[in-house]
Amino acid sequence: MFHYIEIEASVDSYMEIPIAVDERFDVYVNDKQYTTLFTMPSGIEYTVIGSLVRDGLIESLDDIEDIDIDLKRKRIYVRLAKDVEVNKIYIEDCSILVKQGVYVSSNFTIDWKNLIEIFSDFNAKTTSVTMGIASHTSGLYDLESGKAIIAHDSSRHSSILKIIGAGIKHALNLDRSVAITTGRASSDMVVALARPGIPIAVSMRGPLYSGVSAAIILGVTLVVNLRRGEKIRGLIPLTHVKRIQGYPRELHTASPRSFGTI
């Protein structure tokens, strides 16, 4: 169904046990310290691109003149075409993002059965299933082109950044794509996916309050996997559910005001 691009996990061994590799990289943009990434070295360029997109420092690859990765010194030097100011985004700032034009207005829809197929396919490709190592996996499925990206990382944050960076690098239709991750549905995940316009996010874990709030405000359809509970269990769409077609139950969604966060 999909043509896969897989960003493999960085793995070492200790006492013949496979161990996930996590390293620290200091990132500089136009000779100024930008951020520190805690990530696997595999696919590190994608992580950097995804981080730049999430923080609004670039809009496309044309904004990047060069990325120089020094694996020995654990430093990454990025040269952008223009000077930028770095401002970190938190959940309280989501309304500010909307004022800046960050809102997912995509009219993309997906049939519930197709979403379940993607979920099942993705689950079989996670490192916990294939390798049994301590890491997270994220995926990006472009239903228009049939391309899909699978990225493994020691950090759930970095795995999301990798699929964003790789999606841009490999020209996926982000506004026609579904993102899925083994990580929790947190606000940082939602903000990262909303910035490039990815309309649907699926978490194999339960939701966080900040993640639901961010999804409501930024126009992201958030689907989570509830593992406990008598009345509701399994995959549940929580926000902007109009993009989900053929769901077997009646769907309701909250407004920012009724959710009581902003």
Residue 199 CB neighbour total at 10 angstroms: 24
Name the CATH code of domain 23-89 (choices 3.30.70.890, 1.10.940.10, 3.10.20.10, 3.90.45.10). 3.10.20.10
Euclidean distance between CA atoms 256 and 262, whole angstroms = 6
C-alpha distances in angstroms, 185 versus 124, 129, 191, 206, 235? 20, 21, 11, 7, 13
Over the stretch 124-178, which tens digit does the pLDDT of each residue have?
888 665 667 778 999 999 999 999 999 999 999 999 999 999 999 999 999 999 9
Residue 195 CB neighbour total at 10 angstroms: 22
Mean pLDDT of the chain: 88
Over the stretch 67-98, which tens digit does the pLDDT of each residue have?
999 999 999 999 999 988 876 655 556 666 76
Domain ranges (residues) in the chain = 23-89, 110-259
Q: Is domain 110-259 given the CATH code 3.40.140.10 in the classification? A: yes
pLDDT on residue 90: 58
Beta strands across the sheet bearing 32-39: 32-39, 23-29, 75-80, 64-70
pLDDT on residue 134: 75
Over the stretch 105-119, which tens digit does the pLDDT of each residue have?
999 999 999 999 999
Euclidean distance between CA atoms 178 and 7, whole angstroms = 17
